[in-house]
Amino acid sequence: MKNNPPSPRQTALNCLRSWHAGRSFAETLVDRECSRTALPPADRHLVQALVFSVLRNQTWLDHVIGTLRKGRLDVEARLILQLGLSQLFLLGMADHAAVYETVNLASVRLRGLVNAILRNALRQEKTILEEREKLPLSIHYSTPAWLVRRWTEQMGPQMTRDLLRWNNTTPHLYVRANPLMPMKNIPASLAPLDRAPGWFSVEGLLPLEEIKTGSLYVADPSTRYS
C-alpha cells in the first residue's frame, strides 16, 4: 500500500526547514521537494506561493508572532506559525482552512500552542494589519535596516517606501515562443504582450508541456534589450 504524498502545506514546511538549516536557494528547494513528491502543477503553485510569501515577509511575521506570544519559540513552532499567519494575512486563504491545515502540520506537543496563537491572531486581525502601516519600514517590508537607512538617505522616505513595496511584490512570469519549434495552439493561460511579438504573460498555470517540448521558454522581456 502506497503512502499518501505530503500535502502542499507539508511540502512548503519541508522547504522552509531546509532553507533555515542550509544555504540552498528557495526556488531550488521548491523544485526539489515538489519533484520528489510528484505534486501536480496546481499544488506546486501553492507550495511556491506559501514558501515565498513567508520568506518575503519573514521579519514582519516574526514581529507579529512576538506580539502574540511572549518568550522563545523553537524553530519548528516558528516556521509553522509563519506559514499559518502568511495564509491568514498575506495570501487571503479561508480562515478555517488556514488554521485547521496549519495546526495539522504541528506535532501533538505543539498543536495546542499553534491553534491558540492563530486564533488569537484572527481575533486581533484588524489591529495587526493597522499596526503594520505604522511599523518601521525594515519590519513592514522585511528588509535589512541598514539597507533601508541607505536608501532613505539616497532617495528620501517616500521613494524608499515605494521601492520597498515594489521590491516585495510577486514578480510576474513571462515566456517566449521558440520560432524553431512553433506551437500548434497558444495555451489559454498565456496573454500576448503588446509590441513584443512572440512574448507572453503567464496568467494561469505555467504551460509545462510546451516548455518540455521546447516550444516555449521562460524569460523576461527586458532581455530583448541585452
Of the chain, the end-to-end C-alpha distance in Å amounts to 53
Q: What is the DSSP string of 104-151?
A: TTS-HHHHHHHHHHHHHHHHTHHHHHHHHTTS-HHHHTT--HHHHHHH
Give the whole-angstrom CA distance, residue 98 versus residue 23: 28
Instruction: Output the pLDDT for position 41.
Output: 81
**pLDDT at site 3:** 63
Same domain, 89 and 72: yes
DSSP states along 79-114? HHHHHHHHHHHTS---HHHHHHHHHTTS-HHHHHHH
Q: Report how far residue 149's alpha carbon sits from residue 32's, in angstroms, rounded to the nearest whole number.
A: 36
| Structural domain boundaries, residue 201 | 174-225
Count of the separate structural domains present in the chain? 3
Asked if 145 and 127 sit in the same domain, the reply is: no
pLDDT at 1: 40
For strands 190-192 and 174-177, give the pairing.
unpaired
Contact 58, 91 (CB under 8 A): no
- Considering the domain architecture, whether residues 140 and 184 belong to the same structural domain is answered as no
**pTM attached to this predicted model:** 0.81
In a domain, 1, yes or no: no
- 15 and 123 share a domain? yes
Q: In the listed set 146, 167, 188, which residue is the last one of a domain according to the structure?
A: 167
List the chain pLDDT tens, one digit each, 226 residues. Answer: 456 778 999 999 999 999 998 878 888 899 889 888 888 888 888 999 999 999 999 999 999 999 999 888 999 999 999 999 999 999 989 999 999 999 999 999 999 999 999 999 999 999 999 999 999 999 999 999 999 999 999 999 999 999 999 998 888 889 999 999 988 888 888 999 998 999 999 987 778 889 889 999 999 998 888 7
pLDDT at 2: 52
3-state SS, residue 65: helix
109 and 215 in a common domain: no
Residues 121 and 18 in one domain: yes
**191 plus 212 within the same structural domain:** yes
Residues 118, 182, single domain; the answer is no
The SS3 assignment for 216 reads: strand
> Is 2 contained in some domain?
no
Task: Identify whether residues 23 and 70 lie together within a single domain.
Answer: yes
